[in-house]
Chain A
Amino acid sequence: MPQVTLTVNGKTASVEVEGRTLLVELLRDKLGLTGTHVGCDTSQCGACVVHVDGKAVKSCTMLAVQANGAAVTTIEGLAAADGTLHPMQEAFRENHALQCGFCTPGMVMSAIDIVATHPDGLSEAEIRHCLEGNLCRCTGYHNIVKAVSAAWPVMHGKVAAE
Chain B
Amino acid sequence: MNAPFEGIGASVRRKEDLRFISGRGHYVDDMNRPGQLHAVMKRSDRPHAKILSIDTSAALAAPGVVAVYTGTDTAALGSIPCGWQIHNKDGSPMAEPRHPMLAEGKVRHVGDILAVVIAATKQQAKDAAELLHIDLEELPAIANVADAIAPGAPVLHDAAPGNVCYDWHIGDKAGVDAAFAAAHRVITLDLTNNRLVPNAMEPRAAIGDYDSSTGDYTLYTTSQNPHVIRLLMGAFVLGLPEHKLRVVAPDVGGGFGSKIYHYAEEAIVTWSAGKLGRAIKWTADRSESFMSDAHGRDHVSTAKMAIDKDGKFLALHVDTLCNMGAYLSTFATAVPTYLYATLLAGTYTTPVIYAEVKAVFTNTVPVDAYRGAGRPEAAFLIERLVDVVAYDTGMDRVDIRRKNFIPRDAFPYQTPVALQYDSGDYFATLEAAQKTADWAGFPARRAASAAQGKLRGIGISTYLEACGIAPSKVVGSLGARAGLYEVANIRVHPTGSVTVFTGTHSHGQGHETTMAQLVVDQLGIPLANVDVVHGDTAKIPFGMGTYGSRSLAVGGSAMVKAMDKIILKGRKIAAHLLEADVGDIEFKDGKFSVAGTDRSKSFGEIALTAYVPHNYPIEELEPGLDETAFYDPKNFTFPGGCHICEVEIDPATGIPTIVNFVAVDDVGRVVNPMIVEGQVQGGIAQGIGQALYEHAAYDAHGQLISGSFMDYTMPRADNLPNITVATENTMCTHNPLGSKGCGEVGAIGSPPAVIGAIVDALKDYGVRHLNMPASPEKIWSIIQAGRPAMAAE
CB distance from B245 to the nearest CB of A (A): 26
Q: Which of A62-70, A115-123, A135-143, A154-162 contacts B (4 or more CB under 8 A)?
A: A135-143
In the complex, what residue of chain A is closest to B680 when comparing beta carbons? A140
Task: Name B22's contact: one of A35, A38, A139 (CB within 8 Å).
Answer: A35
Task: Name A104's contact: one of B20, B285, B674 (CB within 8 Å).
Answer: B20
> Chain A contacts of B17 at CB under 8 A?
92-93, 98, 101
Tell whether, in the assembled complex, residue A101 and residue B508 are in contact, meaning their CB atoms are under 8 Å apart. Answer: yes
In the complex, what residue of chain B is closest to A98 when comparing beta carbons? B20
Tell whether, in the assembled complex, residue A137 and residue B254 are in contact, meaning their CB atoms are under 8 Å apart. Answer: yes
Tell whether, in the assembled complex, residue A37 and residue B27 are in contact, meaning their CB atoms are under 8 Å apart. Answer: yes
Q: Is B509 interfacial (CB-CB < 8 Å)?
A: yes
Tell whether, in the assembled complex, residue B508 and residue A93 are in contact, meaning their CB atoms are under 8 Å apart. Answer: no
Q: Is B593 interfacial (CB-CB < 8 Å)?
A: no
Tell whether, in the assembled complex, residue A100 and residue B200 are in contact, meaning their CB atoms are under 8 Å apart. Answer: yes
Q: Is B564 interfacial (CB-CB < 8 Å)?
A: no
> Chain A contacts of B720 at CB under 8 A?
128, 140-142
Task: Name B510's contact: one of A38, A99, A124, A144 (CB within 8 Å).
Answer: A99
Q: Is B789 interfacial (CB-CB < 8 Å)?
A: no
Tell whether, in the assembled complex, residue B708 and residue A40 are in contact, meaning their CB atoms are under 8 Å apart. Answer: yes
A94 to B16, CA, bound (A): 12
Q: Which of B359-367, B484-492, B613-621, B711-719 contacts A (4 or more CB under 8 A)?
A: B711-719
Tell whether, in the assembled complex, residue B20 and residue A140 are in contact, meaning their CB atoms are under 8 Å apart. Answer: no
A87 to B345, CA, bound (A): 49
Q: Is B682 interfacial (CB-CB < 8 Å)?
A: yes
Q: Is A26 interfacial (CB-CB < 8 Å)?
A: no
A105 to B21, CA, bound (A): 6
Tell whether, in the assembled complex, residue A74 and residue B23 are in contact, meaning their CB atoms are under 8 Å apart. Answer: yes
Q: Is B678 interfacial (CB-CB < 8 Å)?
A: yes
Q: Is B9 interfacial (CB-CB < 8 Å)?
A: no
Task: Name A101's contact: one of B25, B256, B285, B710 (CB within 8 Å).
Answer: B25
Q: Is A127 interfacial (CB-CB < 8 Å)?
A: yes
Q: Is A13 interfacial (CB-CB < 8 Å)?
A: no
Tell whether, in the assembled complex, residue B254 and residue A102 are in contact, meaning their CB atoms are under 8 Å apart. Answer: yes
Tell whether, in the assembled complex, residue B22 and residue A138 are in contact, meaning their CB atoms are under 8 Å apart. Answer: no
Q: Is B346 interfacial (CB-CB < 8 Å)?
A: no
Say yes or no: A145-B717 contact (C-beta < 8 A), given A37-B202, A40-B286.
yes
Tell whether, in the assembled complex, residue A128 and residue B717 are in contact, meaning their CB atoms are under 8 Å apart. Answer: yes
Q: Is A8 interfacial (CB-CB < 8 Å)?
A: no
Interface residues of B in 3-31 (CB under 8 A from A): 13-14, 16-25, 27, 29-30
Interface residues of B in 673-689 (CB under 8 A from A): 674-675, 677-679, 681-686
CB distance from A96 to the nearest CB of B (A): 5
Q: Is A45 interfacial (CB-CB < 8 Å)?
A: yes
Tell whether, in the assembled complex, residue B674 and residue A96 are in contact, meaning their CB atoms are under 8 Å apart. Answer: yes
Q: Is B199 interfacial (CB-CB < 8 Å)?
A: yes
> Chain B contacts of A129 at CB under 8 A?
717-718
In the complex, what residue of chain B is closest to A109 when comparing beta carbons? B23
A37 to B202, CA, bound (A): 8
In the complex, what residue of chain B is closest to A20 when comparing beta carbons? B123
A129 to B251, CA, bound (A): 30
A94 to B203, CA, bound (A): 27
Interface residues of A in 26-40 (CB under 8 A from B): 28, 33-40
Q: Is A57 interfacial (CB-CB < 8 Å)?
A: no
Q: Is A89 interfacial (CB-CB < 8 Å)?
A: yes
> Chain A contacts of B684 at CB under 8 A?
140
- Beyond A45-B286, A129-B717, list 15 extra A-B contacts (CB 8 Å): A41-B285, A42-B286, A42-B709, A75-B21, A94-B13, A96-B674, A100-B507, A102-B25, A103-B201, A124-B722, A137-B714, A138-B682, A140-B720, A142-B685, A142-B723
Chosen A-B contacts, 13 in total, with CB atoms closer than 8 Å, are A33-B23, A39-B253, A96-B674, A101-B508, A102-B253, A102-B254, A104-B20, A128-B717, A135-B714, A137-B256, A138-B678, A140-B684, A143-B678
